[in-house]
Structure 1
């Protein structure tokens, strides 16, 4: 658009192209000045420049006004960037009488420049990210040796520079450890034949300083329109430290397994030898009792012999508990369907024989015809020890223990719940909170040979069950204790 303005900035002439730029008829444009179509910020800048350029033009006729860029407003309210080139007009005496100018719409150019600048800034940011990243980026040609078309500057982390690859001195394959190269090639060929876009590899490379490093290589496959592979985009990261840790863990795991096998051997050897020893003592005590005590009628001698037999029995129980406890360290405790009725009856017989000098009354209320749970024979020891605790911590002449066997459904899971209620001294509330901790005094087994409550809890949980403790009478622990055991039910 070509125009002429006088020194008061009134438009004297404008060509028809102005209508195309601004959307107004040329007659409308002639009624004003170029200033009225400017965006406010551009207008301030234009007035400031205009005053400066008039002053300079008055000082020298040879002064040339530089190209200026302002933002203008169209009739429809939209804006555009305009490049303005003006020159002053003078009369025959050299006096300034106006100026002429050419205005061009350069919006597309400005937008392109802004887009370019944004991309340039983004690339700079990306370059900084890559430079500070542990990942080194490669663009590899799908050719023999994988020539490098691009590598990020942080390749210096591995002791190389980009020019080492751009000068074709080094191909990517030259970095790979000879013992790994065939495997890496085979894997690349295998993935290339598949319909995959990316894949991972781990292998060793040599640094520029000759050191061997493990890397994790994440490759993306690039194909042309015909589906042919043209490039591989690779991002590699040093995983040498991780590999070293993995190797040490494997060594530790091997040592642990060896130690576990040795401990299992010693445990079995201990159990075998102690059982043999206890069996010999037990047999001898029974022979003494049969051949001498009964014949001679020595009551005191008989009592002492019975004590020996009882302690031998308890020693066998200790050996069994050692074996049971060791099973808790196994990855998966063996579980099978177990009849609760049989387990509880056996536990009842055991405690009545062990504490035959006490008056013990055990009542069982069963609402399930066949209460089968998923556990194993350790469950008998659990009930024996709970019964023993009810006897041990009881000051009544008659020890009352009642059991209720009930069905229980929780969140779509089927359980059997067993309530064990006694008339013992009870457990204070502050002890209940730590009852199943190993340090708690209630966790001591019967005379040091039974299972503690912490182990009972571990066994129950190994069966995917639960155990809780409550008062027999709410808010009065002195009336006795109630243990609740829930175990998975089996039909």
Structure 2
């Protein structure tokens, strides 16, 4: 028996966490040396003052600990909670407190054993992340409401001025550039808002007719000012996918990029098919264009944030990142390849595969 007790004591004394055993009255029978590393107080100090743990609790956590002790005694079962302690040097730390009752073979209550783990580093990281998330949401709300409202006011006034008679062509071009910048600014804000919705898990999916969505998108882009655009798409048998209203943004961004980066008349071919990967059924959409294409070294990073293509067309690099984020939020896949195999100058082919609704 003594040899077993010695071995147990050796293990307990050398645990990194602060282990303890309280008798039925709440006095310390044992507390491991790690208590000094965590709190600055030695084991003898906790044995001498049974209320020392309660005394060094952060004031805001005393009530939670009191409730924990009450529920632990009432349920006679294990329990845990996260608490703040004030160390001997006055530093506030976080611990994960765990305890459970101990009974002998005759079911006599022998007290409680447990451990306290220093989680200050993890907790600080969690709190910093929460604060960063709060600030990010505040900034997105600020952009989406206040700044976007200012943009719309500016757009309204500039459009009024643009319609004034007697303006020179140079002045008109300057106003149109200013309008374009404000529209681009609003577009960026809208994309940031959508990305924030995705990252927060607020994107819920429903059953959507992919074929009808493609018909609507084709009709929208047939008339593109300043560009000769042909979009070929023949509706086939219906295919329903799990998505939502943001599904439009996936194909809009891809088609807008094809039009924007084209160097002359642009032809876009949209085809819809099916594919099975890892036993899962997908609706597949390919979008081909006859533009300048995408070099192999750019394909891998094309969907990264702030990544732009190789043409001189202006953009902020959020569009295709939004595409990838949306597709993956639906459980799908997106990639880009050459329209003409082995020749990237023959145009690009974007492939979007979205989980299909089981028939």
TM range, smaller chain: 0.7 to 0.9
- Separation in structure 1 between the aligned mates of residue 35 and residue 227 of structure 2, nearest angstrom: 84
Work out whether 1:430 is the aligned partner of 2:297: yes
In structure 1, the residue matched to 2:72 is 191
Q: By how many angstroms is 1:335 displaced?
A: 4.5
Give the drift of 1:244.
7.6
**Match of residue 369, structure 1, among 210, 214, 238:** 238
Q: Name which of 373, 376, 383 aligns with 2:251.
A: 383
Where do 1:167-316 residues align within 5 Å? 170=48, 172-173=50-51, 175-177=53-55, 184=65, 187-194=68-75, 196=77, 198-200=78-80, 216-229=96-109, 231-237=110-116, 239=118, 242-243=119-120, 246=123, 249-250=126-127, 253-254=130-131, 256-258=133-135, 260-286=137-163, 288=165, 312=179, 315-316=182-183
Change beyond 3 A, Cα 1:184–1:410? same
In 1, Cα distance between equivalents of 2:131 and 2:22: 41
Q: CA deviation at 1:470?
A: 1.7
1:60-75 alignment, distance < 5 Å: none
Q: CA deviation at 1:376?
A: 2.3
Long gaps (5+) in structure 2: none
Q: Does 1:447 align with 2:326?
A: no
Larger radius of gyration: 1
Asked if 1:131 is matched to 2:8, the reply is no
Q: Residues 448 and 214 from structure 1, CA distance in 2 versus in 1: closer, same or farther, beyond 3 angstroms? A: closer
Unaligned regions of 5+ residues in structure 1, if any? 1-115, 294-299
The change in CA–CA distance for 1:344 and 1:281 in structure 2 (over 3 A counts) is farther
> Displacement, 1:471?
2.0
Aligned-residue Cα RMSD (Å) equals 4.4
| 1:4-43 equivalent positions in 2, closer than 5 A | none
1:310 Cα deviation after fit: 8.8
Aligned to 1:140: 22
Q: Deviations over 1:420-446 (max 9, x none)?
A: 122333333333233334465417794
Residues 306 and 317 in structure 2, CA contact (< 8 A), matched pair in contact too: no
**Cα contact 1:205–1:213 (8 A) shared by 2:** yes
Distance 1:371 1:286, change over 3 A: farther
- Closer, same or farther in 2 for the Cα pair 1:486/1:210, shift >3 Å? closer
Q: In structure 1, what is the equivalent of residue 224 of structure 2? A: 354
1:352 shift after superposition: 3.8
Scaled by the length of structure 2, the TM-score of the pair is 0.73
Q: Distance in 2 between matches of 1:476 and 1:428?
A: 9
CA distance in 1, matches of 2:114, 2:128: 30
More contact order relative to length (CA 8 Å, sep ≥ 6): 2
Within 5 Å, give how 1:464-479 maps onto structure 2. Answer: 464-479=331-346
- Asked whether the 8 Å contact 2:32–2:43 carries over to 1, the reply is no
- The whole-number CA distance in structure 1 between the counterparts of 2:53 and 2:131 is 33
How far the C-alpha of 1:403 sits from its partner, in A, is 0.8
Q: TM-score, normalised by structure 1?
A: 0.57
Report Cα offsets for 1:295-352 as digits up to 9, x if no partner: xxxxx96x98699669746743541332222321331253455554554445444544
Tell me whether 430-439 or 474-483 shows the greater mean CA deviation: 430-439
Distance 1:190 1:486 in 2: 52
- CA drift of 1:181 comes to 7.2
User: What is residue 458 of structure 1 aligned with on the other side?
Assistant: 325
SS of 1:471's partner is strand
Would the aligned equivalents of 1:318 and 1:450 in 2 still touch at CA under 8 Å? no
